[in-house]
Amino acid sequence: MKTHWFRGWMGMLALFAFSALWLQGQQGSAVPTVAIRAGRLIDVRTGKVAVDQYILVTKDRIQSIASSPPPGVAVIDLSRYTVVPGLIDSHAHVLGNPKDQSSTGSLRMSSAQQAIWGVRNLQVWLDHGFTALREAGEDDPAYAQLALRDSIEQGLIQGPRMVSAGQFVSLTGGHGDADVLAPDAGLLPRPNIADTVDDVERVVRRDIKFGADWIKLMGTGGVMDPISDYRVQELSQEQMARAVEVAHRAGKKVMVHAEGTEGIKAAVRAGVDSIEHGTMLDEEGAKLMEEHGTWLVPTLYCFQHDMETGLSQGRDAVSLAKGVAILKEQGPAFHRALEHHLKIAYGVDDDPDVVSKEFGALVRGGMTPIDALRAATINGAELTGRSGDIGTLEPGKFADIVAVEGDPLTDITVMEKVVFVMKGGEVIKNAGK
């Protein structure tokens, strides 16, 4: 009996081993569902360009890159174009009408209507080749941005892959306080307002409860609102440190809106993961960011674009005046960031219709074209913790593929001329056929 029992178990083990080897062989020899022929293929890691390559895609992933396709596989011919990885916007706001810059715009629109606008806005990001984004917070207590994120993941709507912040964590009267009304016509208390260290913990816990991936702090005043001063630190270092403690313990990360010099440094000392804007970054702040490995998302173009739109989209005159004043600080601060080799990710913080304009702003600011591409691909993937799936065109990663006319390594503005977009093996746009 023991001999029969032993032989039976050995037979079962052999069967399991054979099955595992067979499955491994099947996966390794999976037939591509489509081949993308790239006239010029940029490796964003090295900056090298390969000519006439085929990206072999199996379902939603890249299987391999070869000099010719297997027989019988459909080929999408992009031989006239330059191919790059799907792009990543690391500072996006998806809800509402992006062309309404009035300070009360969000107060005149329900959460549901903002979400419907969000569906439209996400299509624009995709059309420009942005297959992933980091949503940088909203003032919607109902968290419509999280519903959009989840709906994309579930396949209910089409849009970029998203990680998202919750509400803006703000002081009373701070940059994230949506109540800009007169004192005798104010709103009910908003759940994102945090005036003490304990308040911050409560608000951060609320964001985590409802599913935020990131926590968004308003560390200083801002430009777009009519009530705060962008030079002034708002949340204390202790408040920001408590937010970091709570978020990191829950496996979340923290981004901080920080324009003014002292607020930037306090945020870095508090241990935040990224500084948004950093428009008045000084030498001490740049050294601190370098030492701590803190990311910077500079959003250069949004301030420049403000000078073009002016008051035409309902913006408050006091807000525009702040934009004019702060713009002179942007160039020197960005140069300091480059000199200290800070980790920089691409973010537009603007209407998605102009999302590709940040490439030109980064290069005009002193960045090389390949580094601007890295900011929008490999760096964005690292910042958002998704380097294993996106950011480069390599076997095993999602088939997020973009093609543009011309050569972005010699003229970065060709990134504004996206002719082909694939997300996860699905063709979203093919204007070049």
User: Do 13 and 66 have their domain in common?
Assistant: no
The structural domain count of the chain equals 3
User: At 204, is the secondary structure helix, strand, or coil?
Assistant: helix
> How many Cα atoms sit within 13 Å of 181 on the Cβ side?
13
Chain length of the chain: 433
CATH code at 68? 2.30.40.10
Which residues constitute the domain of residue 70? 31-85+393-430
The verdict on residue 2 lying in a domain is: yes
Give the 3-state DSSP-derived string for 392-427, with helices as H, strands as E and coil as C: CCCCCCECCEEEECCCCCCCHHHHHCEEEEEECCEE
pLDDT, one tens digit per residue, over 165-199 is 999 999 999 999 999 989 998 888 899 999 999 99
**H/E segment holding residue 199:** helix 197-209
- pLDDT, tens digit, for every residue of 43-92? 999 999 999 999 999 999 999 999 999 999 999 999 999 999 999 999 99
Given 355, 383, 418, the domain boundary residue is: 355
Asked whether residue 170 falls in the same domain as residue 297, the answer is yes
For every residue of 36-88, DSSP letters joined together read: EEEEEEE-TTT--EEEEEEEEEETTEEEEEESSPPTT--EEEEEEEEEEEPEE
Distance, CA of 174 to CA of 391 (rounded, Å): 35
Residues 304 and 351 in one domain: yes
- Domain-embedded: residue 378: no
Is 361 among the domain residues?
no
Are residues 247 and 148 part of one domain?
Answer: yes
Q: Is the pLDDT of residue 13 over 80?
A: no
Counting residues of the chain whose pLDDT is more than 70, the rounded percentage is 93
Pair (40, 172) in one structural domain: no
Same domain, 92 and 42: no
My answer on whether 271 and 403 are in the same domain is no
Q: Are 345 and 377 in contact (CB under 8 A)?
A: no
- Whether residue 256 is contained in a domain is answered as yes
Same domain, 91 and 35: no
201-225, pLDDT tens digit by residue? 999 999 999 999 999 999 999 999 9
Are residues 301 and 243 part of one domain?
Answer: yes
Domain-located, residue 370: no
Q: Are residues 164 and 301 in the same domain?
A: yes
* pTM, two decimal places: 0.92
In this structure, are residues 285 and 233 in contact, taking their beta carbons and an 8 Å threshold? no
Q: Is residue 217, in this structure, part of any structural domain at all?
A: yes
Instruction: Say whether both 262 and 155 belong to one domain.
Output: yes
- In tens, the pLDDT along 119-143 reads 999 999 999 999 999 999 999 999 9
Domain limit, last residue, from 355, 377, 409: 355
* One domain, residues 177 and 74: no
Cα 229 to chain centroid distance, Å, stands at 26
Neighbouring C-beta atoms of residue 127, cutoff 10 Å: 16
Report if residue 385 sits inside a domain. Answer: no
Asked whether residue 384 is domain-assigned, the answer is no
Q: What's 275's domain CATH number?
A: 3.20.20.140
